[in-house]
Amino acid sequence: MRRSRTSAFVPTRSPAPTGAGGGLLPTRDLAAAWILVVLIAVPAWALTIGQARDMGVEPGTMGMALPLFLLLWVTMMAAMMLPSMAPVALTWVRGIGRQSSGWTRAARSIEFVGGYLLVWTAFGLLAYAALAFTGGLVDDHPTAGRWIGSIAFLLAGLYQLGPLKHVCLRHCRDPLSRLVRYAGFRRPARDLRVGVHHGAYCVGCCAGLMVVLIPLGVMNVAAMAGLALVIFMEKLWSRGFFLTSVVGVAFLVLALLAPFQDWLLPGLQDSMPSMDGM
């Protein structure tokens, strides 16, 4: 029986990558891996929450210089992305451990992680430019914040429902085949290339979700936690593709509501007059 292209392209249910049948790591190693993830992710979240408490939620870059913004951005991404990308990362690092030892193993592992963070740092440059532009626009035209927020939710919703999102999500949900491909990468800098390659797919998978930080606020801890949960479930839950569509539709609804609901735009709020004053 032939399956239609549509059903093959947008599956609603598939085996969870780390669940039964995923087979990336044995149960014992998987438990140890998640302990390591917690030990890294918890401090990253603690630093992010502490910084957010000091800075609050404001439009634009909140006066941060680019180096400070990138430092906070990478910390945020480590907190938000690590749990969902851990199975692939830890499996690759485990493979490094079988082939290398001592300083070579440490250097190769750092090279892999560095490649992954390099991609998110590059995306952080785009995020900084977008926040600087929208922040300046809101400062000059306070009421523009509502339309900026609406456009941001619209773009995020369309991206969630678009083909690029599904291609990248499929990569992240089927990492075993990618690990086989990565094994064919040649030196030098093979581990760096693997980190960059997987990081690029991760950015492609999460780019739409990151866009909503413009209206919600880049240092909005509640928004970051919610997005981190969505990212985790999209990649590791058996109905991740279905969740992607639900979130996309929800963003489209928020795009319609944003011009009339200031509470949806805390990241664009300080410079906007209230609806009562219009």
What is residue 82's three-state secondary structure? helix
Query: Are 205 and 234 spatial neighbours (Cβ–Cβ below 8 Å)?
Result: yes
Query: How far apart (Å, rounded) are the C-alpha atoms in residues 12 and 240?
Result: 7
From the list 92, 132, 130, 131, the residue with the least C-alpha distance to 109 is: 92
Give the C-alpha separation, 237 to 35, whole Å: 19
Whether 18 and 30 have beta carbons less than 8 Å apart is answered as yes
CB atoms within 10 A of CB 58: 18
Long-range contacts of 248-251, Cβ-Cβ distance < 8 Å, separation of 24 or more:
248/156, 248/157, 248/158, 248/159, 248/160, 248/161, 248/208, 249/157, 249/161, 250/157, 251/153, 251/154, 251/156, 251/157, 251/160, 251/208, 251/212
Tokens of 232: 């985790």
For position 83, what pLDDT does the model report?
76
Please say if the pLDDT value at position 278 is more than 60: no
Residue 20 pLDDT exceeds 70: no
Instruction: Render the burial of 30-46: b for 16+ CB within 10 Å, e for the rest.
Output: beebbeebeeebeebbe
- 170-227 pLDDT, tens per residue? 988 876 676 677 666 677 777 888 888 888 999 999 999 999 999 998 888 889 999 9
Q: How confident is the model at residue 12 (pLDDT cuts 50, 70, 90)?
A: very low
- In angstroms, the CA 130 to CA 153 distance is 14
Compute the CA torsion angle 220, 229, 211, 221 (nearest 10 deg). 10
Whole-model pTM above 0.75? yes
Residue 257 scores a pLDDT above 90? yes
Output 123 or 21, whichever has higher pLDDT.
123
For the record, the structure tokens of 252 come out as 């489209």
Question: Residue 78 pLDDT > 50, yes or no?
Answer: yes
Burial 132-157 (b: 16+ CB within 10 A, else e): eebbebbeeebebbbebbbbbbbbbb
Cβ-contact 94, 32 below 8 angstroms: no
43-57, 74-88, 240-254: range with highest mean pLDDT: 240-254
